[in-house]
Amino acid sequence: MTINEKIDAITSLIAETTNAVLRRLSSKEEFDKLNLEITSKLVLELVLFLLHFCDRQIFCLAGSEDREIIMVGVLENVLKWLEKYDEKVLAKHFGEKTNSNLNVYFEYLSKMALSTDFRGAYNERQQEYAVYKKLFPDKDEPPKDTLVWEFSKKIVLLVKSTPAGMLIMLSLSSDMIEAFIITLKSFFGTESWEKKLENVDFIKARSEIADMFKIAKEDAKMKGGEHYIEPKFYEALLPFMTQPCLRSAINLLEFNPILYTYFEQSKK
């Protein structure tokens, strides 16, 4: 992958991870009870966390020179992505007839991204988070002084212990972070898909992916719309769903590496 292709891929990974969290949030009744300003700040904190996490991972994978070039491009792209949320984007991720609360929410988030000193906040989080060397605690260790712990503290302060606000932390589960790491590494060619897919039960992986689409379809229907699948994605998906095997799995993951989480969950 070229530098520009990596920038685009990493931006898409951050966007898709954020969208995955928001899809989980939007399916919860408590979502509608959240204050717009607080919810938007929660999402911005999530994006800042993912940006920092990308930065430290890319330093290990590509070195300091490429990291600087890549992160400047990713930061610019993420800002553009936040600013472009509109009804079309919402329909793509949440159903054709998105509920009014979600429309209002994203409109507010877009404006907040424009009005917030996002670059200043990013630099601030870079300095704060750099102190913490571990993402998660080791087994039987307390979570204090880890990166996720510090991120969690910011969320708790934002929501002032409101249970509904903590949904974002439940949504950012360890399996999602693990999938984020693996996908990010795949952009730098550190390990082949063939190696990553060792011991995967492809029939089970197909079932996991089918369940994901079933849930997405039901969620969209509940919102009065239909779940949309891009034609190119459908073309890449169909061979694996028809004949789940190593080759069709690799072809699918080369098109959309974010799906790797379903394969990881299906290992024997």
Provide the token pair at 70: 């890549």
**Which residues, given as ranges, of the chain have pLDDT below 50?**
87, 90-91, 93-98, 165, 170
Query: In terms of C-beta distances under 8 Å and separation of at least 24 residues, what long-range contacts does 34-38 make, across chains too?
Result: 34/162, 34/164, 34/165, 36/104, 36/105, 36/108, 37/108, 37/112, 38/158, 38/159, 38/162, 38/165
Q: Tens digit of pLDDT for each residue in 137-161?
A: 777 777 778 888 888 778 777 766 5
What is the pLDDT, as a whole number, of residue 71? 92
Domain boundaries, the chain: 3-190, 192-268
Q: Tens digit of pLDDT for each residue in 80-93?
A: 887 765 545 544 54
Q: Which residues pair with 12 in a beta bridge?
A: none
